[in-house]
Amino acid sequence: MNPKYQPFFETFRFRSGVQVNNRIVMAPMTTYSADPDDTVSKAEVAYYVRRSKGVGMVITACTYVTANGKGFHGEFAGDRDEMIPSLRELASAIKGQGAKAILQIFHGGRMCPPELVPQGDVVSASSVAAEQQGAKVPRALTEEEIQEIITSFGETTRRAIEAGYDGVEIHGANGYLVQQFFSPHSNRREDRWGGSLENRLRFPLAVVDEVKRVVSQHAKEPFLVGYRFSPEEPETPGITMADTLVLTDALASKELDYLHVSLMDFWSTPRRGADGSDATRIELIQKQVAGRVPLIGVGSIHTPDEALKALESGVPFVALGRELIIEPDWVEKVRQGREAEIRVELSRHDQARLEIPDPLWQAVVNTPGWFPIAEKG
């Protein structure tokens, strides 16, 4: 191994006691590939096995915590106890390759396709549609329903514990329900769950508290809790960088194991709310949390040198998403001094070699600009 890449392979022990072998994380990515009964499919298991050898930690695609939270076709379920064997199969497959298995837990809110939720009853913080073509106006959740969803995040955490995962990641990013409560675009409530920034923080923090309560009650082994968030929204009104610094400050006080910043570009700079600073979003967040909680950075990192530069910015972890689809052996090739062999683009003949399930492969090759795809070969 090239000695300059040694920082990738330093171990790390989280606050909870969970220890990982290195600083490379597989980012959560939707596979669209569950079986028709919403259990994890054999193709998904094979896909994760192919990518779990080498990385310190695998964060799964999101699983929904209530029946009306299903956000994707082919999303596997975590909303009822009958799904524990399915969840266990995936956890065992990941851990069998030496990585820690983290289950991402989620509710899609207003982003759920109506055909995927009971009676097409799409819900959110308020009756405000997303700013995208064909978006349905959701129904505002009642106080009782809000409490039920908070409890459901805890119940799915219990299932993750029983299924053998090493932790859960609360999906508070990418415009889904937890973020919808924090956002002034989707949350126009006038009760204790909305209005002021303090009130909009209430739901995300309630979910964190419930998940942590369940972990303290049910986990017999070290079990971590992470939280993923998107720093900004393009909408007006929408989440600004200033809002997110308040959120991250609140989350840092919750003694979480990590915060995971959802970015398309690790080095991106704020749109608004940074008071004229030319610092990157990651730099601003690091300054705000001030070492109180570890950060996972992600976003268009492909080569080992790009990952090393990201680590040198001060984050203790770098997550790879699309790059691990392209190059499942990324970590092993770096470890073996074969970094020159790391692939950074796909060919249209790679599906079988890379063990990518059919629905995900169709999304990869038919979404312009998402993946670098060689036109020849």
Active site residues: 176
Both ends of the chain: CA-CA distance in Å?
Answer: 30
Residues 286-312: b if buried by 16+ CB within 10 A, e if exposed: bebbeeebbbbbbbebbebebbbebbe
CA 69, CA 207: separation in Å to the nearest integer? 15
What type of residue sits at position 341? E
The backbone torsions φ and ψ at residue 68, rounded to the nearest 5 degrees and listed phi first, read: -90, 15
Letter for the amino acid at 269? T
27's tokens: 């980012």
Please identify which residue in the block is written with the tokens 């039920």.
148
Give the number of other Cβ atoms within 10 Å of residue 203's Cβ.
26
What one-character DSSP code corresponds to residue 205? Answer: H
Structure tokens at 282: 């990651």
Q: Which of 50, 85, 71, 7 is closest to 305 using CA atoms?
A: 7
Measured on CA atoms in the order 127, 65, 35, 117, is the torsion positive or negative?
Answer: negative
In degrees and rounded to multiples of 5, residue 281 shows phi and psi of: -60, -45
CA distance 293 to 249: 10
Q: DSSP letters along 300-342, please? A: S--SHHHHHHHHHTT-SEEEESHHHHH-TTHHHHHHTT-GGG-
